[in-house]
Amino acid sequence: MKSCFYKSTRSNDLTITSSEAIVKGLGHDGGLYIPVKFPRLEKTFDELKCMNYRELAFYIMKKFLTDFSEEELLYCVNNAYDEKFESKDIAPLVESEGVHFLELFHGPTLAFKDMALSILPYLLKTASKRLNIEKEIVILTATSGDTGKAALEGFADVDGTKIIVFFPEDGVSQIQKRQMVTQRGKNTFVVGIEGNFDDAQRGVKEAFADIEFNKEINDIGYMFSSANSINIGRLVPQIVYYFYAYLNLLGEEKISQDEKINVVVPTGNFGNILAAYYAKKLGLPINKFICASNNNNVLYDFINTGVYDIAREFKKTISPSMDILISSNLERFLYEISGNDENMINGLMKDLKENGKYEISNKMKEGLKDFYGGYIDDKKTCETIKEVYDSSKYLIDTHTAVAYAVYKKYKAETGDKTKTIIASTASPYKFTRSVMTSIKEGFENYSDFDLVREMSKLTNKDMPIGIRDLENKEILHNRKCKKDEMKSTISNILNK
């Protein structure tokens, strides 16, 4: 097997192994790690469709993590995708409303982030052992709601690590917040910031990039790494479920050999849709990438104009995990469509930092031809939840509703009848108020936890294990800080 090495999107002076890329998280120059050369899959789809989720994850991830031994990677995969997922299929496909919903929310925190963050702690621990790292690794993470809890759950009480999660104090759902602030684990720290997700993400990136701050942290025995999808160890596991969905359709004879599909992804930080794009680079037959946005529609504008402009009002919506204006993973995609031009990427990122916008070249705009961008507002999101439930009794969350509504727009505009997978990124139980008030009146005075019980009655299903008794759990994390106090907060936590 050919070795897979990694480099930064912003320079060509350093090539490293997957273990080093996972531990470092972010490039030495502020760029994101990408494979120097993409691997190819030797097995046919007929061979792959016989694999279960764990077998497929091992096969695909081994192509990217070539410095891991087979025993090490099997250990990581088998410990990640086990009984903590409430569905034996890990990521089941549900056919409804003429599309296939890929349910990515059956993990312990009820969101798609579990698909990668269940394995990242094992990858990181294995990688640090391979590299003989003695310093304690501090996971710095910004979250718009779901990454935080999934990362906390994955890293809680993992030896040799601490995890610090920053979240927008007023920018997540009550269920999401409660999941985080009740997290157990002596190595877990949760901080609400006075700001939005972009502020939290910017603060984390600044902590990584500050050489003096990193020296100060190293001197007291720590080093930083990331659990956000800027970490290649987060992104690679996400490629697997797009293959798994396609192979399921093939196995059930819903599609024919090599038939193309569309993929619809509710998109904020661009990581989940980038994983689908990477799946296509590996040979998955994808026709169109449908990028669905809410009112924070910076990606919609970019796909349709080639201009990325964050000079706009940040809007709080009922799909908060997409309330993002600076989509970090877009940098990896820009690198691809620039023809791997590091100088071009540096110029674009400089423009974004200094002017709040950039415009890609006409040649790069040609790389957008496989993408469709659409967006909807909160009113349409609510209407879509009700429409799907009334039609099929299938309950979807606010983010999945954005994806389905944008797909309907796409289909109406194009007439495209290609079979379509929608990434269903969160359980409706994470956004009970928005979901329940969309389908029925009279819930205005209910608490979020009352609504959890009502949702369970409505669907005639037990509520997921991940949120049972959540309202009775002790609040363990009360830290708050201003957006410009993140580094001092990190120092205070680590110096105790």
Just list the catalytic residues: 113
The DSSP 8-state label assigned to residue 429 in this structure reads G
3-class secondary-structure state, position 220: coil
The DSSP 8-state label assigned to residue 426 in this structure reads B
Q: What H or E segment, with its residue span, contains residue 288?
A: strand 286-293
Looking up tokens 């925190």, which residue turns up? 109
- The 10 Å Cβ neighbour count of residue 310 is 17
Provide the angle, in degrees to the nearest 10, between the axes of the packed helices 232-251 and 120-130: 130
Query: Half-sphere exposure of 95 toward its Cβ, with a 13 Å CA cutoff?
Result: 6
Instruction: For the chain, count helices (H), then strands (E).
Output: 21, 15
Identify the CA nearest to 303 among candidates 318, 287, 288.
288
C-alpha–C-alpha distance, residues 191 and 197, integer Å: 12
Is residue 100 within 8 Å of 109, Cβ to Cβ? no
φ/ψ (deg, to 5) at 289: -100, 115
Identify the CA nearest to 295 among candidates 323, 263, 275.
323
Query: Half-sphere exposure of 441 toward its Cβ, with a 13 Å CA cutoff?
Result: 0
- CB proximity list for 445: less than 8 A, separation 6 or greater: none
C-alpha–C-alpha distance, residues 309 and 351, integer Å: 10
H-type helices in 252-397, by residue range?
Answer: 271-281, 298-305, 330-337, 342-355, 362-365, 378-392
Q: Looking at the DSSP assignment, which residues form a beta bridge with residue 479?
A: 191
Single-letter amino acid, residue 147: T
Identify the CA nearest to 116 among candidates 5, 2, 247, 278.
278
Is residue 190 within 8 Å of 183, Cβ to Cβ? yes
